[in-house]
Structure 1
Amino acid sequence: MNIRRAAASDAVSIAEVQVKSWQSSYKGLVDENYLQSMSISERAVRWKEWLAAGPSHIMYVLGEDNEVAGFVSGGNIRSAHPYDSEIYAIYLLKEVQRKGYGTLLMKKFAEAMHKQGKKSMIVWVLKDNPSKQAYLSLGAKKIDKERITIGKQELFEECYAWENLPLF
């Protein structure tokens, strides 16, 4: 598997990974009707916009032969926390999860943030998502939580932070 900077032409593939990942990873956590109503074409429009956002939004994709199996997206922090960078999204297809690829994507993102002079990083994750253990194993500390709405469902997200930007 290779990691490369995402291009505008990756928008549909990124949307496919996001939707499929949500549908497999959030089954039982997020309302099934919401998961099944997720639209790859609608998400692709958003990803095209974000990919055009310029250097303030960093995206990398994981894959082989123009096939995208995962991605990481992030940039400047979007909340009032005393950190300076944030992973906005990191998703992998089920078949490539738990093989170290998420850590490789996070490392690539952290290196990009380091090159921009960033010193720290956060990521938000659904409270009941078992994948949050990966962040803890990589040295993150839980610093906050908030109530969010996904579809018609109220859930909690937790914020995990690295005070010193991890280069793993």
Structure 2
Amino acid sequence: MEFRYRKACLADAGGIAVVHVESWQSTYRGIVSDRYLDSLSVEEKKEKWEGILSEDHHTLVCTTKDGLVVGFASVGRERSGEYEGELYAIYLLREYQGRGIGRELFSRSISSLKALGFQDMFIWVLRENSSKTFYYSYQTEMVKEEPIIIGDEEHVEEGLLLTF
């Protein structure tokens, strides 16, 4: 199957929202409460992404040749100011995982941050997320851990740093 990668546009908000919600529901089922996951709304995420995509952003999408959004990644300035760049989100529909799309989105995200003059990328990942090995394959270093509340449950996020 042929995939296309490009900067996201406002018209992609709905597709990104679907990927965001469905990937959370498949990735975090058994980690985050079902009640929380079942409460996620594509419409609410679409509104959030319309706001993001209406401003200056660095969000990439991967689409099928027919234009279906199957994955996305979003990066920018690290929010705490402690580091330079940050991977805000990277998600793929489950049925498109294992095809190199995540690696391509991640590589292009690094290139976006380098083009902004950044020399590192900070990444938050849930400790219980088995997919975190993806990030460790890039020689990231765990630099912090912090509790996070998702729904009404406490989890631990690992803060990883990738220096380029």
TM norm structure 2: 0.95
1:28 aligns to 2:34 (yes or no): no
* Partners of 2:63 and 2:158 in 1: CA distance: 28
Cα distance, 1:80 vs. partner? 4.2
Amino acid at match of 2:9: A
Cα distance, 1:99 vs. partner? 2.3
Amino acid at match of 1:67: L
Cα distance, 1:127 vs. partner? 0.6
Paired position in structure 1 for 2:70: 69
Which consecutive unaligned segments of at least 5 residues does structure 1 have? none
Paired position in structure 2 for 1:95: 95
Pick one of 51, 54, 61 that aligns with 1:52. Answer: 54
* Partners of 2:46 and 2:161 in 1: CA distance: 29
Cα distance, 1:66 vs. partner? 1.2
Give the secondary structure class of the aligned counterpart of 1:99: coil
Cα distance, 1:72 vs. partner? 0.1
Instruction: Please give the per-residue CA displacement for 1:143-163, whole angstroms capped at 9, x wherever unaligned.
Output: 111101111111111111112
Give the secondary structure class of the aligned counterpart of 1:131: helix
Amino acid at match of 2:4: N
Poorly superposed stretches of 4+, deviation over 4 Å: none
1:148 aligns to 2:148 (yes or no): yes
Contact 2:139 2:162 in 1 (8 A): yes
* Partners of 1:80 and 1:116 in 2: CA distance: 15
* Partners of 1:163 and 1:108 in 2: CA distance: 15
Pick one of 18, 21, 24 that aligns with 1:19. Answer: 21
Contact 2:72 2:92 in 1 (8 A): yes
Paired position in structure 2 for 1:161: 161
User: Residues 87-126 of structure 1 correspond to what in structure 2 (within 5 A)?
Assistant: 87-126=87-126
Aligned positions, number: 161
Give the secondary structure class of the aligned counterpart of 2:130: coil
Give the secondary structure class of the aligned counterpart of 1:98: coil
Cα distance, 1:113 vs. partner? 1.2
